[in-house]
Structure formats: C-alpha cells, structure tokens
Amino acid sequence: MRNSNEIIDDIANKEYEFGFTTDIEMDIAPVGLNEDTIRFISAKKQEPEWLLEWRLKGFAAFKKMKFPNWQHFKMPELDLQKLSYYAAPKEKKKLNSLDEVDPELLATFDKLGISLKEQKVLAGVAVDVVFDSVSVATTYRAKLEELGIIFCSFGEAVKHHPELVKKYLGTVVPHSDNIFAALNAAVFSDGSFVYIPKGVRSPMELSTYFRINAENTGQFERTLIIADESAYVSYLEGCTAPKRDENQLHAAVVELVALDHGEIKYSTVQNWYPGDKDGNGGIFNFVTKRGICKGNSSKISWTQVETGSAITWKYPSVILQGDNSEGEFYSVAVTRNKQIADTGTKIYHLGKNTRSRIISKGISAGHSDNTYRGLVQVGPRAANARNYTQCDSLLIGDRCGAHTFPYIESRNSTATVEHEATTSKIGEDQIFYLNQRGIETEKAVALIVNGYAKEVLNQLPMEFAVEAQKLLSITLEGSVG
Amino acid sequence: MTSDKSFFDFISNGLPGPELREDADNAILPARQLAFSRFRALGLPSVKTEEWRYTNIQRFLKDSFSLAQEEGTITAEQLKTVNTKIPQLDSYTAVLVNGRLQIALSKLPAEGKITISKLSDAANNTQLQLWFDKHPHLQQQPFAALNAALFADGLFIEAGQNASLDKPLHIIHIYTTAENAFIQPRHLLVLHKGATLEIVESSVGMNETAIAFVNSVTEIILEENAELWHYNLQSSEKNSRHIYHTSTVQKADSRYHHFNFTLPSAELTRNNLSVALTGSNTETNLHGLYLATDEQHVDNHTFVDHLVPNCNSNELYKGVLLDNSNGVFTGKIHVHQDAQKTNAFQQNNNLLMSEKASINSQPQLEIYADDVKCSHGFTVGRFSEESLFYLRSRGIGEEAAKTLLVNAFAFDITDQVHIPALQDFLSEKIRKYVSGAINN
C-alpha cells in the first residue's frame, strides 16, 4: 500500500482530466465594456427595444457598484474591460437532429463522456446544449411541446414568448441585485428558458450542459424557469470546461419562479477548470441563483455538487413568500490545491408555515479554503416557520481551511430554527476499521467520503448521480491526512 | 476642559482628551497616544461594519455625552441604599464609583500575595507596563482603543504565585453622574503561576435622568496553571448603555471560567469577550445567560482564538427574550494551523417569548488545522406546548409553569455556577422577570 503522503501528492498534482480546447470559429464582440458593447450584443441577437432598455438599466446599476469586500478570500484582480462580451459559434443553421451538429462539437462531448447520443439513450433526458453562449441543439422539443412545456434558449424565448419573459425577467434577481448580477443583466449572452404550464408534470429531466470555450470570454448565462400552478420540473445543469491558463469569469444568473403548488428541483454539477496546483488559471464562478416560492404550498429545491473552479462564490437562495411553501438546499463542495469555495444559501421565510432544510457538506484538501456562508431569515409574518440546517466540514491535510459563517435572524416567536455544524478530519478509527477488513486506504477514503456526501448525492436525479460520484472519486479518492 | 463637549463634537474635532494632556508624566502615555490614533484610524462603527451589523451603535451615541468622567462620590449611607447586595453571598468587596476604587467603602482582603489597587496607583508596576493594551483582540476594536486613550481609572489586581483567597471577591461598579456621561473604566487582572481567584462583578447605576454610557475594558492574564472563576452580572438601570470588553490571555495549563449574566434593564449591553489561548493544555468555559425585557438590546460577541495545540474550549450561551427585546449572538472559534488536537464547542440557544422579540445569531467556525473536533449549534424556538400542557394538567398555574420552564432552560448555565448564593440569586431574578413579563 502506498503511504498517505504519496497519495495526497498524487491527488494534489492530478492534471485536470477534461482540459482541451475545441477549435470552432467564433463570432466575438470587440473587447471592452461600454454601452456600445451592450447595443452590439442586443443587435446581434435581434432583441426587442424593451430588452435593450433593461440591459442598459443593468449597465447603469453596474457602473454605480463596487466589488464587495466581505467574502472570505482575496478578490482576484478583474479587469472587466479586457473581456470580450459575446462569443457565439458561427454555424447558425437550424438543426433537426444530432447528425447536423458540428462533428468537432460532438467529439468534445464524447471526450467528456457525456455525449448527446448517450444522453438521448439515457431515458428521458432532453438536452439543450449551450456551447459557449448560444444553443446549437435542442432535443426532445417536440415531445415537450405536446404538453405545452417551453424549453428553449433564452434568445428564442424572447422571440417567441416575449410576454412570459417580460413578466418574469428580473423579478427574482433584479438588474441591480449585486455587481455581478448587474453585469449579467447588461451583457447576458444566452441561457435557458423553461416554462411548465398549469398542472403539468415534466415527464423527463430537463438538462443543459454548459461549456466555456472561447478565450477571454466571460460567460454570462441567464436562466429563467417558471413552474406555473401545480407544475413540476426537475432541471439539471452540468459543467466542465477546457483547460486554460488565463482566468475566466463566469457570472451567470438563474431565476426560478414557483407558483401555487408548483415545484422546481434544480441540480448542478460543476466541474470547471480549477487552475493548476499553484493556483494559476481556473474559472471564477460568481453566480447569482435565486428562486421564489411565490405561490402557496410551492417548493424549490437546490442541489449542487461543486468540485471545480478556482473560486466558487455563490449562494443559491429561496424566498419563501407563499404560505406553506418549502425550500431546500443540498450541497457538496470539494476544494483542493489552491481552490476557494465560499458558498451556501439564503432562505427568507416570509409566509406562514414555511419550511426549509439546509444540508451542506464541505471537503477541503491541499491548500484550499472552503467556506459555508448562509442566511436564514424569519420575517415577522412567518408564523410557525421551521428551519433545520446542518453543515459539516471535512479536512484532509493540515494546510487547508474549513469555515462556517451562518447568519440567523428570527423575528417571529413561533418560528423554530436549528443550526448545527461540525468540523473534523476523516476518522482514523474508520480508516483502521476498513483497512482491517482488507480495504486499502485509498478506497477506504473514497468510501468514507462518499458516505459523508451521500445525504446530498441522494438528492440528485439518477442520471446525474453517476457523474457526480465519478467526479467525487476523481477529486478525492485516496486523500487521507 | 472639554466637559461641555459632546461625544460627536469630540470625535469630529479630533481633539486630544483631557487625560491625554494631564497624564503627561504617566508611563503609559505613549500607549494612550497610540491607542487614540488607532481609534481615529478605525473610526466609529456603523451597521455596515461587519462586527456591528446587528447593533446600530450610532443610535445610542446620538445624545450628547460629557467626557469629563467626574469623580462621583457616594457615602457609606448612600451605598446602603444602592441595590448591590447578593443575599447570602459571603465575600470580600471592592466598591468602584465611576471606575475609581473606594477603599473606605470596600472590604478588601488583608494584604498578602494579592494586590488590589487603583490602576492609577499601579502606573509604574511592571505587569501593567507589560500588558497594558497589548491584547491582540483589542487592536481592532474601536471602543477599546477609545478606552485606552481616555480612561480615567480602574482596578488593578495582581495575584502572586500560588495565591488564593478564602472567599470570592465581589466587585461592585457604581455609576453616578449628574449629566449624560461617557465613562471609561479600565481594569487589569494578572494571575501568576498557580494562582486561583473567584470574582463576581456587578454594576448598578444611581442616575435618575442622566444617561451613563459605560465603555469598559478588562484585560486578564492567566499565567501557567492559574485558574479564574469570573462571574459578570450585568443589570444596570434602564437608561444606561454598556460596552464591556473582556480580553483574556491564557498560558499553558490555565483554566478560565467566565459567566455573563445579562439581566434587565440597561437599554444597550454589548459584550466583546475574547480569549487568546497562547499555551497548551488549557481549559476555557464561556457561559452566558441573557434575559432581556422591554426594549433591551443585548449583543454578545465572543471570540476564542486557538493558537496552540491541545486546548479545550467550551461555550454555551442561552437567551430568553421577552417584550420588544432584541438579542444578538456572534461567536467565533478560530483554530490556527498549528493548533492541532483542538476541541472547541459552541452552542447558542434562544427562547423567544414575545411576538415582538427578535434574535440575530452568527455562530462561526474558522478552522485551519485538520486534527480537530469543532462544532457549533444554534436554536431558536418557543416553549414546547406539550411541556406547558403537562405542567398545567398537574394543576400548576400558567405563570408558575412558564417560570419553571424558563428556569429549566437556564439551568444548564446556572448549574455551572459554583457559588450557591449566586445560583439562588439568579433563579430568583429569572422568576421575577419572567412572571413580571407574563403579567404585563
């Protein structure tokens, strides 16, 4: 059996497996950020006037804002003027089947082991591929259309369903919410749009794979999902990115709206390029995700598995506005080398009898820093609100950090809020127990970590759980301190 | 003199305070000047300052305050009328009026290994020069810096090697002022190797209309194997405002047991309690009970800094919030990279007993060592209806039942108190305030 230090070195030095660049011609906006850039993007996408105005409002808000300073890491120097704000694959032809997709693009997905073909075979997954910024292939649309479900790129939604976009855009994450959300509002490229009509239960998991591809291109996806009354949808988002030495900014916005008895389940597996072992390169993942349980008895559930990115900085939130509504947040965040994760959730209890549950598992190795930061707020009207929070941290090696910064604000005496957090390393006794039964240390750790994260992994839809487990084992198997 | 200057005038004009000029020959004058420039650099905190986000301190500073820190004298007769007594408590007493020790009113232990004096009389003491304003956690606290720059006097206690007292020392802080005043007492306790001490602090105001804003700093040094039991009873009159800084350094094998009891009815109580563990094998127990009524605002900030391996810390803060009161708890455990084999636990439980009461809590863990066991927990809720029903069904009236339940809730803290007289005193206070609130 190898000794534990060798194993740690191995893991720490492991090259990013999915690092490669695809050569597809790009249509890139001029570098820099000003009103002209925004007009260029808007014109390029043939957007209506109201959307351009909304973008400009976002830009005006952005100009007034400064980068925050409360985060638990050193803010990297970001020169937003050096980024190009629009990149779209040149091929604009409408596609009906996968055969028409650029073969090189297909090859990329094959390398990732998540080929569209495989996805199509995996029962019931419709894939809306966002390759860089613009959707190039959408499957299963016909079947979804029969049920009245709209699942398309954001751009198409603006063209074909402007009334829905206009009604909900920016209602959950306003254009002036925070500096990155404002930037996104100004320059968002594309993203996904989902609308589930009244009483419809989406028969399959809706899924989008994001990939950052073009050099020097910030990614500004915008996703809007609406579950109308008694509707249900489960949405999957997964990411891998090619290796690159220059840092890339990803400032996406996701908005979820659940009306009476509506339910949205949003799952993320994030494995963007984390940078090399010295912390060079890697993606900055500064994403604003928020859902609102607008209607009574509605439910929003976030599940995330975060293994990539140089810096992951996001707080998927739920506003529990409707009475009896429910919010959930399940998270596994793994950091190693010099990765940083400052992530958690915010739950706002506004309506009566609202419930929320937060399960967060942080695993840090190498020289990384892993922070849980979360807010649970109970408003004066939220009678009988209930929250349970558990966040556990696992430390692997003595050069990493694990932090827990919860904020709890309760203004209602009938509310019950509980929070507990623990920090420890992998139990030597557990490893010993497994060793003793002939399981080598490397596998024992994988087993323990998988068990540790199981509560969260169990929340993932089956199609995703496989990939998530694979990611966890790639990142962590055998790391023991 | 600047007695007519309000606090804000003082800050905005940036004039040096009266003490800065008068203490020209004082050995700690350079330290005072340093502290004042530190305060200027830190500035007054606002709700945008992370450490003060739930306590709008500027609201409590709006009134005009005199910085003169008058002597304030009381007679033995007056002392009798002041409600400072803890019944049945057999103790030595040290009476301080506006931060100045009144030897004639006190009952100090006979001279021996333990020195109790005015801080101003100890100006040339090597311990004072060694430790004054040196605690690392005070460096970022604007009000602690202000205190270092402006304090008039305070208590200095030095316990020699293996020294101990046969009974606790009760320190009675009395604040009396004719006009609104910003009072800044400063205390230093040094326990040398193997010394043991048990102190009870309580404070009381004698002002009818004037507002006393008390900004106190207590620095505590526990040398190897020293042990301190430290009880702090905070129950001043309604219109008083308090910021307490208690900063302790613990060396190897030392034990520190701290209790904060915040009772009605000072309108503002802010505790900045911090412990720096600089030696191994220490034990730290921080206990807090806050019971707030009316418009009270109680803010407990605690910080346990694990700098070295093999230390144990344990923290339990419990709050009962009645009427329109507002509670804040921020507890931080920081485990440094070298502090392996640390055990650190923290727990904050709250009982909201009124529709208008509220609580904000931030239990924080910041951990850089892997071989540790750390946890924190937080809860907020109300009475369990089942428990109440159980008691009522056995013929116990609502008021008695609720009092019983609050006492049971507080028991985890009061049970840790080692002085029976103090235990009884606290239970009685809880009973009084809870039934008072229910009857309102």
Q: How many CB atoms lie within 10 A of CB B22?
A: 12
Looking at chain B, which residue has its C-alpha nearest residue A423? Answer: B374
The nearest alpha carbon in chain B to A428 belongs to B371
Q: Is the pLDDT of residue A93 over 50?
A: no
The pLDDT assigned to B284 comes to 97
Whether A119 and chain B come into contact, CB under 8 Å, resolves to no
Contacts of A400 in chain B (CB under 8 A): 368, 370
Please give the residue that has the higher pLDDT: either A474 or A70. Answer: A70
φ/ψ bin of A50: left (φ > 0), alpha (ψ from -120 to 50), beta (otherwise): alpha
Nearest residue, CB atoms, A481 vs list B354, B368, B370: B370
Q: Which of A47-51, A258-262, A420-424, B27-31 has the highest mean pLDDT?
A: A258-262
Count residue pairs from A and B with Cβ separation < 8 A: 113
DSSP state, residue A30: P
Query: Cα–Cα distance between A402 and A395 in angstroms, integer?
Result: 7
Q: What is the pLDDT of residues A451-477, one digit of tens each?
A: 888 888 888 877 677 777 777 766 665
Share of chain B above pLDDT 70, in %: 93
Strands (E), A84-167: 87-89, 125-131, 134-138, 150-153
Q: What DSSP string describes A152-190?
A: EEHHHHHHH-HHHHHHHTTSSS-TTSSHHHHHHHHH---
Local confidence band at A24 (pLDDT 50, 70, 90 cut-offs): low
Contacts (Cβ under 8 Å, ≥6 apart) of B111: none
Average pLDDT over chain A, rounded to an integer: 80
d(CA B276, CA B215): 21
- Considering only A122-136, A194-208, B236-250, which range has the smallest mean pLDDT? A122-136
Q: How confident is the model at residue A387 (pLDDT cuts 50, 70, 90)?
A: very high
Residue of A nearest to B341 (CA): A424
Strand partners, B274: B247, B303
In the prediction, which pLDDT does A240 show? Answer: 54
CB pair distance less than 8 Å for A395 and B354: no
Mutate to test the interface with B, among A70, A349, A408 (most CBs of B within 10 A): A408
A404-440 pLDDT per residue, tens:
999 999 999 899 999 999 988 888 888 899 999 999 8
Q: Which of A182-196, B9-23, B117-131 has the lowest mean pLDDT?
A: B9-23
pLDDT band at B247 (very low <50, low <70, confident <90, very high): very high
Q: Do B359 and A404 touch (CB under 8 A)?
A: no
At residue A136, the pLDDT reads 40
Return the pLDDT at A322: 94
Is the pLDDT reported for residue A393 higher than 60? yes
Contacts 24+ apart (CB under 8 A), A68-74: A68/A178, A68/A179, A70/B50, A71/A313, A71/A342, A72/A342, A72/A369, A72/A371, A72/A373, A72/A403, A72/A405, A73/A311, A73/A313, A73/A340, A73/A342, A73/A369, A73/A371
Range A122-127 average pLDDT: 44
Mean pLDDT throughout A124-134?
Answer: 49
The predicted pLDDT at position B281 comes to: 96
pLDDT band at A89 (very low <50, low <70, confident <90, very high): low
A412 touches chain B (CB under 8 A): yes
- Amino acid found at B226: A
pLDDT digits (tens, 9 = 90+) for A146-163: 889 988 888 888 989 999
Give me the helices (H) in B209-262, please: none
Residues in A touching B355 (Cβ below 8 Å):
380, 412-413
Put simply, the answer to whether B367 touches A393 (Cβ < 8 Å) is yes
pLDDT of residue A121 exceeding 50: no
Q: A158: which residues sit within 8 A by CB, 6+ positions away?
A: A45, A47, A48, A51, A165
Q: Where does A14-102 have alpha helices with state H?
A: 35-44, 49-64
What local confidence, expressed as pLDDT, does residue B303 receive? 96
Nearest Cβ partner for A416 among B354, B372, B380: B380
Tell me if A424 and B373 make a contact (CB, 8 A cut-off).
yes
Distance, in Å, from the CA atom of A246 to the CA atom of B255, rounded to the nearest integer, reads 52
Q: What is the pLDDT of residue B2?
A: 35
The DSSP result for A220-233, as a single string, is --EEEEEE-TT-EE
Question: Residues B139-164: pLDDT tens digits?
Answer: 999 999 989 888 888 999 999 999 99
Q: How far is A33 from chain B (nearest CA, A)?
A: 30
How distant is the Cα of A372 from the closest Cα of chain B, in angstroms?
Answer: 10
- For the stretch B395-413, pLDDT in tens is 999 889 988 999 999 999 9
At B46, phi and psi to the nearest 5? -130, 180
When CB atoms are compared, the residue of A405, A406, A411 closest to B358 is A411
Q: Give, for B58, the enclosing helix (H) or strand (E).
A: helix B57-60
- Chain B residues within an 8 Å CB radius of A419: 361, 363, 376-379
pLDDT for B129 equals 85
Mean per-residue pLDDT over chain B, rounded: 88
- Model's pTM, two decimal places? 0.86
Task: Give dist(CA B134, CA B145) in Å, integer.
Answer: 11
**Does the pLDDT of residue B25 top 60, yes or no?**
no
Residue type, A402: A
pLDDT at A388 over 60: yes
Q: Is the pLDDT of residue B306 over 50?
A: yes
Identify all chain A residues contacting B54, using CB atoms and an 8 Å cutoff: 409
pLDDT band at A126 (very low <50, low <70, confident <90, very high): low
Closest CA to B221 of B185, B251, B186: B251
Q: Is A388 on the interface with B (CB under 8 A)?
A: no
Six-digit token string for A73: 């890491």
Distance CA(A399)–CA(A339), nearest Å, equals 12
B350 CB neighbours in chain A (<8 A) are: 410
Chain B CB contacts of A390 below 8 Å? none
The answer to whether residues A243 and A274 touch, using CB atoms and an 8 Å cutoff, is: no
Q: What is the pLDDT of residues A323-353, one digit of tens each?
A: 999 999 999 998 888 899 999 999 999 999 9
pLDDT band at A67 (very low <50, low <70, confident <90, very high): confident
> What pLDDT, on the 0 to 100 scale, is given for residue A102?
56
With a pLDDT cut of 70, the percent of chain A lying above it is 75
Mean pLDDT, rounded, for B59-73: 80
Identify which of A18-32, A36-50, A263-277, B234-248 has the greatest average pLDDT.
B234-248
Q: B370 vs A413: CB contact, 8 Å cut-off? A: no
ipTM, two decimals: 0.85
Residue B232: pLDDT band by 50, 70, 90 thresholds? very high
A437 has which bridge partners? none
Find, in chain B, the residue whose alpha carbon is nearest to that of A418: B379
pLDDT at B440: 66
Q: For chain B, percent helix, then strand, then coil, each to nearest 5?
A: 25, 35, 40
Which one, of B318, B242, B241, B246, lies nearest residue B275 by Cα?
Answer: B246
Residue B236: pLDDT over 90 = no
Residue B364's pLDDT band (cuts 50, 70, 90): very high
